[in-house]
Structure 1
Amino acid sequence: MLTNGFVLASAWTPGDAIYQLITILILLALLKKFAWGPLLNVMKQREDHIANEIDAAEKSRLEANKFLEEQRKLLKEARHEAQALIENAKKQGEVQREDIISASRAEGERMIESAKLQIEQQKEQAVAAIREQVASLSVLIASKVIEKELSIEDQEKLINDYIQEAVEKR
């Protein structure tokens, strides 16, 4: 039968069905060997690669966490060391301050003692100088008295003159 230039098969036969079944089976075998197998291999490789990447990422995350904990521990230790250094520096500063205060007090006391000694020496020198002046004035007065017999008024005038002279010499 011919319809519009096509031949229509009107009869279906069991041989055709077997032929089509064999063709489909061959096609499936070829697909399995050349398409399905390589496709499954590629998918398996991709799955393995993704699993390896996940494992590597997990290892990296664990290492990063370990490193972070180590850094935190080191930072904590560094803070403790810094605090200890600060405390030590404060203690040393306090000791130095006390040493400086003690040294200053000792130096002040030494200076006071030295000044007292100098004052005492100058006082003794002044007393010695006054004794010398009194002695020389006494000798001078005595020599003047011996030279002339004086009245009480003359003696007072003479003493006042010598005292005035002694004051002026100073």
Structure 2
Amino acid sequence: MLSLNLGTMLTQLVIVLVLMFLVTRFALRPMLSTMQKRQDHIEEQISSAENNRKEAEKLLAEQREALDAARVEAKEILERSKVQKDREATEIIREAEERANRMVKDASSEINREKEKALAELRDEVGRLSILLASKVMEEEMNESQQAKLVDRYLERVGELQ
């Protein structure tokens, strides 16, 4: 049967309490302290990772804004370049047209001067030939065939001048 001995129970109770005190003091507290430190360290790393993630998102947003701004600026530069190219092309075409018009006008003026010069020379030559013809007619009486020959020679000379 089972007998209960009060002295043994008290001794065992004291031994269990001493053991619990010793385990708590030398094993459980350091272990709990180490676990608390580990938990604090993990929470700190989680917090640091979260802060790094937020900072990375912030930097990513800034990079996207900078990229968008660069794209807008590049687009503006291209548009300005196109406008300037069109303006310069229009200016070059206008200058070329003005130059061509000046050249045509100068050539036309030169042609008119040469024409006037040729007409003046022709008038002088016709006048000289008319005087020469008149003097030949006055020097001698000509018959009809001689007059025709003289007129033909005169016309040939005028034809050579042209």
Structure 1 residues 165 and 116: alpha-carbon distance in aligned structure 2, compared to 1, 3 A threshold: closer
Partner deviation per Cα, 1:50-93 (whole Å, 9 max, x = no partner): 11001101101110111111112112211221222122122212
TM-score (norm 1): 0.85
Selected match of 2:8 from 6, 12, 16: 16
Superposed displacement of residue 166, structure 1 = 4.4
Selected match of 2:24 from 17, 26, 32: 32
Selected match of 2:61 from 59, 63, 69: 69
Q: Report what 1:7 is aligned to.
A: none
Superposed displacement of residue 121, structure 1 = 0.6
Q: Report what 1:4 is aligned to.
A: none
Q: Report what 1:161 is aligned to.
A: 153
Q: Report what 2:34 is aligned to.
A: 42
1:88 aligns with 2:90: no
In structure 2, runs of 5+ residues without a counterpart are none
C-alpha separation in 2, matches of 1:23 and 1:109: 124
Identity within the alignment, %: 37
RMSD, aligned α-carbons: 2.1
SS across alignment from 1:149: coil
Contact preservation (8 Å) 2:129, 2:154: yes
Structure 1 residues 111 and 169: alpha-carbon distance in aligned structure 2, compared to 1, 3 A threshold: closer
SS across alignment from 2:142: coil
Larger Rg: 1
C-alpha separation in 2, matches of 1:75 and 1:160: 92
1:111 aligns with 2:78: no
Q: Which amino acid aligns with 2:35?
A: M
Contact preservation (8 Å) 2:126, 2:158: no
Superposed displacement of residue 130, structure 1 = 0.9
Partner deviation per Cα, 1:109-163 (whole Å, 9 max, x = no partner): 2112111101111101110221122123223323322332111221111111232
Q: Which has the higher contact order (CA 8 A, sep 6+)?
A: 2
TM-score (norm 2): 0.88
Structure 1 residues 136 and 89: alpha-carbon distance in aligned structure 2, compared to 1, 3 A threshold: same
Q: Which amino acid aligns with 2:44?
A: N
Give the structure with the higher percent helix: 2
In structure 1, runs of 5+ residues without a counterpart are 1-9
Superposed displacement of residue 19, structure 1 = 1.5
